[in-house]
Amino acid sequence: MFRILFHTPEIPGNTGAAIRLAAVAGAELHLVEPLGFSLEDSKLKRAGLDYHDLTVLHVHASLDDAWRALQPRRVFAYTSDGDVSYTDITYEPTDVLMFGRESDGLPDEVKHDPRVTARVRVPMLPSRRSLNLANTASIVLYEAWRQQDFAGAQR
């Protein structure tokens, strides 16, 4: 099961969309506090529809707490200044796919954490700042799952 990690997300609708994404693709969703919203936020609930009960969701008080819980073997940090394209990774089902907050991405100390296997980018046109957080997580998770031949999916 792939594990999506949102580091200090700010926008409830993105996290709600990620709840739905994790449910339909069989991934876990991990959130690192502080969150920019309450988990009871109506925008989060609306974006997640009725998938909240179908999602494995964990909230961690800090990134260190997340590392202790996840015990990751491989962590991919998605950032606009990544060294490798997301399509160049050979994903494994226990990988942690880590994304930063909407306003400014992952802090430098997180991108360069010794647990990070690689800093990864999703290609965009030049002079574009960023891609939406939930959209980026969807692109990456579906590529990772595709490489696993969509294991467990209804065909």
Residues annotated within a binding site for S-adenosyl-L-methionine:
100, 122, 130
HEC profile of 72-97: CCCEEEECCCCCEEHHHCCCCCCCEE
Report CA 59 to chain centroid distance, whole Å.
13
The token pair that represents 96 in the structure block:
């942690």
Question: 122: which residues sit within 8 A by CB, 6+ positions away?
Answer: 78, 85, 86, 131, 136, 139, 140
Q: Which residues contact 144 (CB under 8 A, 6 or more apart)?
A: 2, 89, 91, 95, 97
Q: Cα angle at 143 between 5 and 57, to 5 degrees?
A: 25
Residues comprising the binding site?
Answer: 100, 122, 130
